[in-house]
Chains A and B, each alone.
Chain A
Amino acid sequence: DAGITQSPRHKVTETGTPVTLRCHQTENHRYMYWYRQDPGHGLRLIHYSYGVKDTDKGEVSDGYSVSRSKTEDFLLTLESATSSQTSVYFCAISNPGLKTDTQYFGPGTRLTVL
């Protein structure tokens, strides 16, 4: 987890409320990712960013939006949380290039939507 922090680490919220999760890195890695992890599904990519203000959708992007205004911060927003978004959310970073595409993960945020 060195160099990657996520906040909050735990959150309980109600259906219909907006939620923002933050990922902060001190590694100056170009790429940042948001995943969710659910039993039976493994890690699934929500959105990723390949630079400041450059983002794209992943496999399960519906209901989520992201923003990256600085290299070190990547925000994930649930505009109107639903119970199906109860999950553990992981941020990851990487500096893709020849044989340096390893992703490193933050500590995770456990989100419960009631």
Chain B
Amino acid sequence: QKEVEQNSGPLSVPEGAIASLNCTYSDRVSQSFFWYRQYSGKSPELIMSIYSNGDKEDGRFTAQLNKASQYVSLLIRDSQPSDSATYLCAVNRDNYGQNFVFGPGTRLSVLP
């Protein structure tokens, strides 16, 4: 079992819809969780970080964390064509960076 798993996609949603991206992780001691967006040919950029169970909202983005189920998700409301990118889930198993593990990414396509 891979440490961090994501559906590779592509996930296609129409413009204005809600895009739901999912991530599961295997290490129960993981403490912090991140969503990065990566446009083709560009570097990953941070969208959200989440550390506690529940929801965290930032604009059109909502991250959801359920440590008991080892599951973290990202919802994008009112999806725009500019949201089309690959979304990387990352998990840090402690407070120090050497235990960062990235998922393979989910490619999202928002159709006009």
Binding site for B on A (CB under 8 A): 1, 31, 33, 40-45, 48, 50, 56, 58, 90, 92, 94, 96-99, 101-108
The one of B46, B88, B98 that contacts A102, using a Cβ cutoff of 8 Å: B46
Binding site for A on B (CB under 8 A): 32, 34, 36, 42-46, 49, 51, 88, 90, 92, 95-98, 100, 102-105
C-alpha spacing A17/B102, complex, angstroms: 30
**14 A-B pairs, CB-CB below 8 angstroms?**
A31-B97, A33-B97, A33-B100, A41-B104, A42-B104, A44-B102, A45-B98, A45-B100, A92-B97, A103-B34, A103-B97, A105-B36, A105-B43, A105-B44
Which chain A residues lie closer than 8 Å to B36 at the CB level?
105
Which chain B residues lie closer than 8 Å to A58 at the CB level?
98
Say whether, besides A31-B97, A45-B100, A99 and B105 are in contact (CB < 8 Å).
no
Structural contact, A42 and B97, CB atoms closer than 8 A: no
The one of B43, B49, B96, B104 that contacts A90, using a Cβ cutoff of 8 Å: B43
C-alpha spacing A105/B34, complex, angstroms: 13
Which chain B residues lie closer than 8 Å to A99 at the CB level?
32, 51
C-alpha spacing A40/B2, complex, angstroms: 12
Closest to A58 in B: B98
- Which of B42, B45, B97, B102 gathers most chain A CB within 10 Å? B97
4 closest cross-chain pairs (CB), A and B? A43-B102, A105-B43, A42-B104, A96-B96
C-alpha spacing A97/B37, complex, angstroms: 23
C-alpha spacing A39/B66, complex, angstroms: 29
The one of B45, B97, B103, B105 that contacts A101, using a Cβ cutoff of 8 Å: B97
Which chain B residues lie closer than 8 Å to A1 at the CB level?
43
Structural contact, B44 and A42, CB atoms closer than 8 A: no
A100–chain B nearest beta-carbon distance, Å = 8
